[in-house]
Chains A and B, each alone.
Chain A
């Protein structure tokens, strides 16, 4: 029986999940080896050379929110609120779960919001209210 592309995709997903799981319990141990200390200090974004399984390299144009995220982050840089080094550093500092778990531009816009809050340029209350307001407005527009 020929393999359909759906079956191939499923196989691909399964294969990606087959990396050996060898996890050390990390519970603030009393002492650790020098090797583990080195490993723990490895920065998460420095992925060059890590083994991984082949995946399809798909083409996908920027969606509107993605292009707008790029533009908003660049405008914040242009007008001196932050620079691109800070944006990248903040993305790295999201931690591995969010760094690898969020879509590419979702990392950007997440850290842009955090940067404005951290600088005191907006408050979390203002952000929350604006998010509610925008969501209501867009939902009404699309219903």
Chain B
């Protein structure tokens, strides 16, 4: 996922009506004193620094440190501070969209967890960054709660029938992250090595970590297949 929001040269992209509308609303809001340009900049700095690697770190540390794992599973919001995430930031009261309870869902040999937000697009941004585009599509929202095995198979994740699939529907009050099981072939690995194989998709629950797949090998997202263009 794109954790650093890159600024393409302006000439590259054609003007869209949504871009015009956004800038118009923002400039009017700033002119009227509804918020300041500095507010926007500060929020931007916070948002662009959010990345799923926080979730990867939490998972890797949990694999190595049972006491940390216990704290994380019993109080996700509070334990996030141990990996540098305070859910009250960046405003002191949390983000308008995300201040909520954070729960970590532990996968076991018999239970696989996966997250969705059927009503909209709730996602634990402070620990996973911005949600992938597909996570917010009506298609994923429609089908994941009812045909999870089929949808997971479309992501390449085929679960045996004896593994129970638990789908967690996120909402304004509860955000979830999946803690996958430590894969084979990682004996003796340190926290950094382990964190590198916990990809964003593993933390959503649509993939499982493997010793031979690291996040840096995940194909880069193409920039702008453009939901913004009029089609």
Contacts and interface: CB of A to CB of B under 8 A. Distances in A.
Interface residues of B, number: 71
A121 B43 contact: no
A139 B228 contact: no
Contacts of A11: none
B22 A65 contact: yes
Nearest to B154: A54
A61 B224 contact: yes
Contact of B18 (A61, A65, A81): A65
B81 interface: no
Given A52-B143, A134-B20, A134-B24, A60 B227 contact: yes
A106 B18 contact: yes
A143 B34 CA distance: 32
B95 interface: yes
Interface size class of A (residues with CB under 8 A): 35 or more
Interface stretch (B6-14, B61-69, B177-185): B6-14
Nearest to B39: A75
Contact of A103 (B2, B96, B140, B227): B227
A47 B118 CA distance: 6
B39 to A, nearest CB: 5
Interface in A50-79: 50-52, 54-55, 57-79
Interface stretch (A2-10, A17-25, A31-39, A107-115): A107-115
A121 B32 contact: yes
B97 interface: yes
Q: Which 3 A-B pairs have the closest CB atoms?
A: A77-B96, A48-B118, A103-B227
B10 A142 contact: yes
A116 B18 contact: no
B224 A47 contact: no
Contacts of B222: 59-61
Nearest to A112: B25
Nearest to A65: B19
Given A54-B154, A130-B27, A134-B20, A142 B32 contact: no
Interface string A108-142: 01101100100001100011001101110011011
B189 interface: no
A127 B13 CA distance: 24
Interface stretch (B105-113, B129-137, B209-217): B129-137
Interface string B34-68: 11000110011001100000000000000000000
Contacts of B146: 48-49
A127 B228 CA distance: 20
A70 B121 CA distance: 13
A88 B170 CA distance: 14
Contacts of A73: 96
Contact of A88 (B13, B25, B120, B226): B120
